[in-house]
Structures are given as C-alpha cells and as structure tokens.
C-alpha cells in the first residue's frame, strides 16, 4: 500500500476542490492510501466532511496566510516526515510552493496545474501581485518531478512561455454519475420549480467572482438575438463583479434571468438546452464539462482550452471570437436548432468516452505507478 499525500490550501467548495475529490474518490484503495493536508483554516463552505466520508486521513495546519509565511514551511515539513508518504501531490500556488520547498523528503513530488498563471493571476490579483505569484509558482514547478496539466493548452503554455518541460496532460474529468441528462418530464418539473417557462429554449451561463467570465459580452451579443426570438431565454447563475453591470445591460428584460449563487448547479444544467461561455481564460473549464455531461451543446469563446473541447466534441461545440462584435451573435443565428438531439447526444458521448472523472483518476493513478515504479 502506497501513501499518497495531497497538499492544498483549503477545501473550500470550488472547481479544483471538486476535481481533487474525484481523483481521490476513484482511487484503487488496494494500491493507494490517501492522506490530505490543508494549509489554512477551513471556511464554512468546505468539503472537509465529504473527504472524510471517502476515507481520506485528514490534517490541517490551520495557519492564516500571514502566519503561513513564517511557520508553514517548518510545520509542513515536520508533518510530512511523520506521515512519510510515498508520493506528494499538490495543487494551488501556495501548496505547490511549499511542496517544492520541502527538505529531506525523497518522495516524488507532482502538482496539478489548472490555469495559465500569467493570465489568471493578473486578472484576479492585478498586475504587480499577479506577476509575483506567477514567478513564485512557476519557479516551484521547475523543482517538482512532474506538472500534470489539465489540458494540452495549459501544458503548451508552460513550455512556450516559461520553458517548463516536466509536463504531462491529464484532462479534467466530470462526475458523470452525478451530472447526467434529464428526461423531458424531469426537465419540465425542474423548470416549474425554478419558475422557468416549460416551452422556452434556455441558454445557461455563469457569472464568476472576477472578470474572467466576461458575462457582459454575452449579454451584449444576446440582446439582438433575443429580440427576434421571443421563445429563447438567457439564464445566469453565480455572482461576482460583473453581476450589476450585466443586470444594467439586461434592462429588466423578461428573457434574461439572474439566479445568483446556487449549490444546485445540476438542476440548472438539467433544465437548460444550451450552455454559453465567453471566458477570457480557463484551464479546462469544469462548468463546460458539467454542461456536456448533462447533454448541453456548448457555445464557447475561442481561447485555446475551448478549442481543445472542440477537438474532443466537434459536433456539439461552437466557437466564437471575442475580438470585436458579432461573433457570438453570428453563431447564434447560424445554429441549427432542428439538429439539437444529435448535438446533445454528441456532448454526452464525449464525456462518457473521454472526460469522465473515473478516466481522469485512472490517468493520475497510472502516473503514480510510473513514478513509484510499481509493476516493474
């Protein structure tokens, strides 16, 4: 039995936390014993209990970011020596940096890279702090044994922008047993519960916590389309910097709805017909994969990770440019709504065949075996 130690900042509910959960949930427990260490105190919206339920041995340093600067290195090193893992797997900037800095630890160390650091951190934290975080994390990448990238696009970015070549692509996966297609009767029941019209064509999108989701672009492009298609609706879930701007752009349109933050993303996906994202930066977007698992054709900005989705499911993915105006609108006007069933089936099949979380976890486990030289 090989001990795998996972290091993260916290287990706050988020895409990365859910992805890590899916990796561990599908582990072969005859081969691997999962341990997990968090660096900071847990927030109220935490998946800590969920991880405990699947048998992960849990510990937390419970250090604030400020205290972590002074004490995390020593405390983490001591804890890792006690656990004595066979392999260490980190995710997130702080976890990657501290993992890379562990001294006297012979176990292989890998990380999961989920973004384009130079783009993601700049948009989230501003130019100066974003540059510092990018430099610090990419320096850590170079000292780790392997960087597992969630898309070919992320791996290419590390190679071309930072000359980091210790990379491998393991695409994000979605829990296809949880996120699944709903039948027409179930879809209508959900729509009635959410006070959405049963006979409408519903487009779903999300408003992120920062500017990356580019939701105002979607509204601007959709407004003329909705004016000439009265049976279509645009529904937003989530909350963040852009929500007020988007509400102002919507001009109280009865065809645009804002539901705010929700823990029931699955219901919104199962009641929708299409999913649309104008993101400026992604790694391999969880929201898109969840939408596809629910059988939704996707309309996506032409950033590299979305182009990668297009190569996986060309019949269900429609790309548009963020440069100038009219790109998304043109795709909306050209959409063959009579071919919806085929588009939906192709999205669903792509997940089952290539993007399920069980497939992702098997790829990580194969990587663990290779680094630990199991089976040789």
Secondary-structure class of domain 2-173+357-372 per CATH: alpha beta
Average model confidence (pLDDT) across the chain: 95
pLDDT of residue 268: 98
Q: What is the pLDDT of residue 249?
A: 92
Where does 184-355 sit in CATH, by number? 3.40.50.2000
pLDDT digit string (tens) for 43-93? 999 999 999 999 999 999 998 877 767 778 889 999 999 999 999 999 999
pLDDT confidence of 210, banded at 50, 70, 90?
Answer: confident
Q: Is the pLDDT assigned to residue 104 strictly greater than 90?
A: no
Reported as a single tens digit per residue, the pLDDT across 310-326 is 999 999 999 999 998 88
Residue 354: pLDDT band with limits 50, 70, 90: very high
Confidence class for position 376, pLDDT limits 50, 70, 90: low
Q: Radius of gyration (Cα) for the chain, nearest Å?
A: 21
Domain boundaries, the chain: 2-173+357-372, 184-355
With 0-12 / 13-18 / 19 or more C-beta atoms within 10 angstroms meaning exposed / middle / buried, residue 322 is middle
- What percentage of the chain carries pLDDT values higher than 70? 99
Same fold, 2-173+357-372 and 184-355: yes
pLDDT of residue 218: 96
Contacts with 13 (C-beta within 8 Å, 6 or more apart), sequence order: 45, 46, 47
CA 202 to chain centre: 23
* pTM beyond cutoff 0.85: yes
Instruction: Give how far the C-alpha of residue 119 lies from the chain's centroid of Cα atoms, to the nearest Å.
Output: 16
The pLDDT confidence band at residue 211, using thresholds 50, 70 and 90, is confident
């Amino acid at each position: 039995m090989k001990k795998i130690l996972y290091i993260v900042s916290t287990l706050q509910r988020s895409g990365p936390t859910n992805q890590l959960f899916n990796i561990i949930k599908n582990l072969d427990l005859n081969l691997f014993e999962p341990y997990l260490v968090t660096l900071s105190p847990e927030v109220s919206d935490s998946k800590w209990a969920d991880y405990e339920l699947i048998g992960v041995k849990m510990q937390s340093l419970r250090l604030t970011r400020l205290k972590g600067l002074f004490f995390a290195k020593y405390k983490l090193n001591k804890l890792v020596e006690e656990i004595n893992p066979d392999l260490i797997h980190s995710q997130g900037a702080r976890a990657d940096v501290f993992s890379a800095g562990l001294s006297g630890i012979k176990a292989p160390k890998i990380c999961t890279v989920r973004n384009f650091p130079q783009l993601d951190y700049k948009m989230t934290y501003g130019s100066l702090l974003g540059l510092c975080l990018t430099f610090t994390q990419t320096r850590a990448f170079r000292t780790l044994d392997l960087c597992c990238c969630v898309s070919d696009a992320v791996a290419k970015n590390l190679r071309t922008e930072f000359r980091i070549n210790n990379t491998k692509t393991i695409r994000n996966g979605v829990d296809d047993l949880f996120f699944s297609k709903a039948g027409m009767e179930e879809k209508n029941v959900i729509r009635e519960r959410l006070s959405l019209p049963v006979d409408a064509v519903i487009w779903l999108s999300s408003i992120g916590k920062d500017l990356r989701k580019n939701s105002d672009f979607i509204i601007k492009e959709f407004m003329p389309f909705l004016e000439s298609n009265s049976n279509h609706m645009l529904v937003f879930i989530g909350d963040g910097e852009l929500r007020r701007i988007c509400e102002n752009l919507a001009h109280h349109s009865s065809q645009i709805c804002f539901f705010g933050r929700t823990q029931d993303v699955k219901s919104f996906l199962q009641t929708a017909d299409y999913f649309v994202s104008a993101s400026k930066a992604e790694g391999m977007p969880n929201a898109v994969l969840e939408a596809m698992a629910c059988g939704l054709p996707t309309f996506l900005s032409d950033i590299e990770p979305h182009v990668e989705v297009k190569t996986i499911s060309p019949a269900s993915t429609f790309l548009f440019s963020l440069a100038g105006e009219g790109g998304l609108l043109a795709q909306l006007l050209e959409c063959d709504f009579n071919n919806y069933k085929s588009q939906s089936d192709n999205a669903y099949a792509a997940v089952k065949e290539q993007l399920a979380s069980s497939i992702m976890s098997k790829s990580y486990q194969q990587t663990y075996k290779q680094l630990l030289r199991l089976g040789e």
